[in-house]
């Protein structure tokens, strides 16, 4: 057990500086672009799903939460909301950068999420589109991300929070490899297992940054195949679903949104699985 703990600590220490730098860069751009992003998505109109999927791919603090409130007040359409949810990846990008994942893998994941996002968003908007009164929203107040106090404090907070999750997940994986065996663990998430995208998408729906960390770490560790990792990361929208159920009193509508998000994620994962990814 001592060896497992030491290995976990060393694994986390190795990525700590890269994780902090990644968050520092991300916070810098988010601090500069957050207001512009909100204005852009409000003015997107019928191009909402396209603009939303592109902006959603940027690792911004709480952008999916912002989109949730804009949908509830009918400033953006359902298609735009789904496009943003599908392209959002929460902690995926900083972890991939910190773990020095191949650039082509990062670009492939992000690109497919964007493409699926705006295509599905456009299709949804062809079927249903709602626009109504506007309402003010404070992203920093809702997310409690401390970005109003400067990017350094926010970067440190995000780094430590993410590192704690990584430590817990890495410890569990290391212990599982030691006591159960790596091959047995991989067999559970094997690409030939038809139900893996269903399981991954369910994990992705958990409204917490831990879900994206779990999926990304499993993918980096070559336990989760690309198709299943994508299914989970498509379904993941950070804490947005938590805010949706908290702020929108129409439970039936909320469940419909979750159902659409989950269905698209699973179908995308199954299609990629058929093609051997």
For 2-46, the DSSP string reads HHHHHHHHHHHHHHHHHHHHHHHHHHHHHHHHHHHHHHHHHT-GG
Q: Whole-prediction pTM value?
A: 0.76
Q: Give the dihedral sign, CA 18/21/23/26.
A: negative
**Cα 74 to Cα 26, 80, 276, distances in angstroms:** 29, 11, 40
Determine the structural domain holding residue 147 and report its residue range. Answer: 2-274
164 CB contacts (<8 Å, ≥6 apart)? Answer: none
pLDDT of residue 185: 64
If pLDDT is split at 50, 70 and 90, which confidence band does 141 have? very low
If pLDDT is split at 50, 70 and 90, which confidence band does 25 have? low
The answer to whether the CB of 62 falls within 8 A of the CB of 30 is no
Give me the phi and psi of 116, to 5 degrees please: -65, -40
* Interval 180-232: pLDDT, tens: 766 666 666 666 677 889 989 998 898 877 778 888 888 988 888 899 999 99
Q: Does 42 have pLDDT greater than 50?
A: yes
pLDDT of residue 172: 80
Give me the phi and psi of 237, to 5 degrees please: -135, 30
Mean pLDDT confidence for 56-66: 72
Write down the mean pLDDT value for the chain: 79
Rounded-to-integer distance, Cα 5 and Cα 261, Å: 37
What is the four-CA torsion angle of 31, 32, 38, 44, rounded to 10 degrees?
-150
pLDDT of residue 186: 66
How many domains is the chain partitioned into structurally?
Answer: 1
């Amino acid at each position: 057990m001592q060896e497992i703990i030491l290995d976990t600590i060393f694994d986390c220490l190795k990525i700590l500086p890269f994780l902090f730098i990644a968050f520092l860069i991300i916070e810098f751009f988010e601090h500069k672009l957050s207001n512009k992003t909100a204005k852009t998505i409000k003015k997107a109109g019928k191009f909402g799903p396209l603009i939303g999927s592109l902006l959603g791919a940027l690792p911004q603090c709480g952008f999916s939460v912002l989109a949730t409130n804009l949908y509830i007040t009918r400033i953006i359409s359902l298609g735009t909301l789904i496009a943003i949810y599908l392209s959002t990846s929460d902690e995926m990008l900083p972890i991939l950068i910190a773990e020095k994942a191949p650039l082509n893998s990062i670009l492939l994941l992000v690109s497919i999420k964007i493409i699926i996002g705006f295509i599905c968003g456009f299709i949804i908007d062809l079927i249903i589109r709602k626009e109504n009164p506007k309402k003010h929203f404070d992203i920093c107040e809702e997310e409690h991300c401390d970005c109003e106090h400067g990017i350094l404090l926010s970067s440190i907070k995000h780094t430590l929070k993410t590192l704690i999750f990584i430590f817990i997940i890495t410890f569990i994986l290391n212990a599982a490899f030691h006591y159960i065996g790596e091959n047995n663990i991989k067999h559970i998430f094997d690409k030939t297992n038809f139900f893996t995208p269903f399981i991954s998408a369910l994990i992705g729906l958990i409204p917490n940054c831990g879900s994206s960390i779990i999926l990304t770490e499993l993918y980096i560790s070559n336990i989760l195949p690309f198709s299943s990792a994508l299914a989970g990361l498509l379904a993941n929208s950070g804490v947005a679903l938590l805010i949706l159920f908290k702020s929108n009193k129409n439970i039936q509508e909320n469940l419909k949104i979750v159902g659409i998000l989950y269905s698209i994620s699973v179908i995308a994962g199954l299609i990629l699985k058929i093609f051997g990814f």
